[in-house]
Amino acid sequence: MKSTIKIIFLITLLTLVSAQSDERDYDEELRYQNDAINALKTEINQLRLKIKTAESRERSASTRISSLDEEISLTAKLIRSLKNEEEKTRKRILQLKGDILKNENELESLRLRYKKRVINSYRKGRLTDLERVFSSTTWRQAIYRTQYLKIISDIEKKLTKKIEKILIQISQQKLELEAVLRDNLNLVRDKQQQISSYRDMRINREKELNRIRNDKKALSNYIEEKEAGVIQLESIIKKVLEDKARFERELRIKKQQEALKTKSFKALKGQLPWPAEGRIIAKFGRQWNSKLKTTTENPGIDIKGQPGSAIRTVLGGVVTTITYIRGYGTTIIVDHGGGFYTVYSHVTNIQTVVDGQVRNGDVIAYMGDSGSINGSKLHFEIWGKGQKLDPEKWLIKK
């Protein structure tokens, strides 16, 4: 019997600890999300200030569209963060409503028990505890009655304390529910404002695109902007290669390959799956621009596909970078171990996180036009030992 009581007590204690842990996890996650959202808002405001400061100077259409693309990318990221936090608050609201209902049902049950005790005592003409003891026929009976009355008294005290505790819990939960409902409402409003702002930026971007397409000088400036983006990407890759965390990533990737029984990147030349559905519109290496009568260097391949179609990893690895690069838009870099990296640019609606582990074929984003003047496409690169490689030589032949 004693062991059963101990088990019940431990289960109750564990349940309470778990509930408190859930609340702490929620609060910590909410604080983390709030910090991330505030950081994004600060970054967007700084970018807008930078754009406004530059308004007084003559700016090319390519510079304007790059700034717009960066703002659009940050705003899309902010909208995703707001949606995530809104979803968390919605779940917390449902959890709180359930907890309140459960506590209210338990409170009603305790009240009924307490009410029955009072009614029974009244109907039977309740004797005082002292009268019950002195009315005993033997000393043994008197001792038993004393112990019994003490137990009954303790039960009533515990019942009263439990009722008081549940009342306090319900009061606290209702206050928290009101606060979370306010948070949720503010998040919904903020999200709608950001979506509206995002739409306006897309309209302005389309106007700037038309200027670039119809202006040879603007197109030339855009190509210069993209060349600056190549240098930016090379700098990012260099930092990733020199990053001390690469050793820890290497171990994680090796463990993943062993667990999934996959080959190394180096061993899969000509066997890698395509990162997106579509056709190649720009090959690796030097490209001739008939409109400008110039050649440019393409460090990867450009795949034209349906807007919003899935972008998948070609092999498992660890995400090292998610950033905006001028001329390339939102870009994801994945470390595959052994000094091999893949780059996915012009993407939208990111489905992964920095330092997140991905497997072969995982959807990490969707095809967009971030940083592109030719509509939705994927710019895809493969880097090996710090060198740009021709992706077509590594992908499965179509």
User: The CATH number of the domain where 344 resides is what?
Assistant: 2.70.70.10
Compute the average pLDDT of residues 363-373: 85
Q: Does one domain contain both 273 and 191?
A: no
Please check whether residue 229 lies inside any domain of the structure: no
User: Of 187, 211, 235, which closes a domain?
Assistant: 211
Range picked from 2-11, 49-58, 191-200, 373-382 for highest mean pLDDT: 373-382
Contacts of 394 (CB under 8 A, 6+ apart): 268, 269, 270, 272, 314, 382
Examine the pLDDT at 15 and tell me if it is beyond 50.
no
Q: Does one domain contain both 169 and 305?
A: no
* Cross-strand bridge partners of residue 380: 301, 344
Range picked from 59-73, 183-197, 329-343 for highest mean pLDDT: 329-343
Examine the pLDDT at 9 and tell me if it is beyond 50.
no
Q: Does one domain contain both 205 and 273?
A: no
Instruction: Report residue 344: phi and psi, to 5°.
Output: -125, 115
Q: Does one domain contain both 127 and 254?
A: no
Q: Does one domain contain both 25 and 153?
A: yes
Q: What residue numbers bound the domain in which 324 lies?
A: 244-393
Please check whether residue 115 lies inside any domain of the structure: yes
Please check whether residue 223 lies inside any domain of the structure: no
Q: How many beta carbons lie within 10 A of that of residue 5, not counting itself?
A: 9
Q: Structural domain tally of the chain?
A: 2
Predicted confidence band at 2 (pLDDT cuts at 50, 70, 90)? very low
Predicted confidence band at 14 (pLDDT cuts at 50, 70, 90)? very low
Please check whether residue 375 lies inside any domain of the structure: yes
Please check whether residue 232 lies inside any domain of the structure: no
Compute the average pLDDT of residues 8-33: 49
Q: Does one domain contain both 58 and 180?
A: yes
pLDDT at 133: 43
Q: Does one domain contain both 192 and 55?
A: yes
Examine the pLDDT at 194 and tell me if it is beyond 70.
yes
pLDDT at 125: 47
Q: How many beta carbons lie within 10 A of that of residue 179, not counting itself?
A: 12
Please check whether residue 169 lies inside any domain of the structure: yes
Q: Does one domain contain both 26 and 174?
A: yes
Examine the pLDDT at 11 and tell me if it is beyond 50.
no
**For the segment 33-61, what is each residue's pLDDT rounded down to a tens digit?**
677 777 777 766 776 666 565 554 445 66
Compute the average pLDDT of residues 238-263: 90
Q: CA nearest 374: which of 224, 195, 222?
A: 222
Q: Does one domain contain both 179 and 54?
A: yes
Contacts of 334 (CB under 8 A, 6+ apart): 313, 317, 318, 319, 320, 341, 342, 344, 358, 364
Examine the pLDDT at 389 and tell me if it is beyond 50.
yes
11-20, 94-103, 374-383, 389-398: least confident range: 11-20
Please check whether residue 83 lies inside any domain of the structure: yes
Please state whether the predicted TM-score (pTM) of the whole model is above 0.85.
no
pLDDT at 265: 95
Q: Does one domain contain both 202 and 292?
A: no
Compute the average pLDDT of residues 129-134: 44
Q: Does one domain contain both 205 and 264?
A: no
Examine the pLDDT at 131 and tell me if it is beyond 50.
no
Please check whether residue 235 lies inside any domain of the structure: no
Q: Does one domain contain both 272 and 371?
A: yes
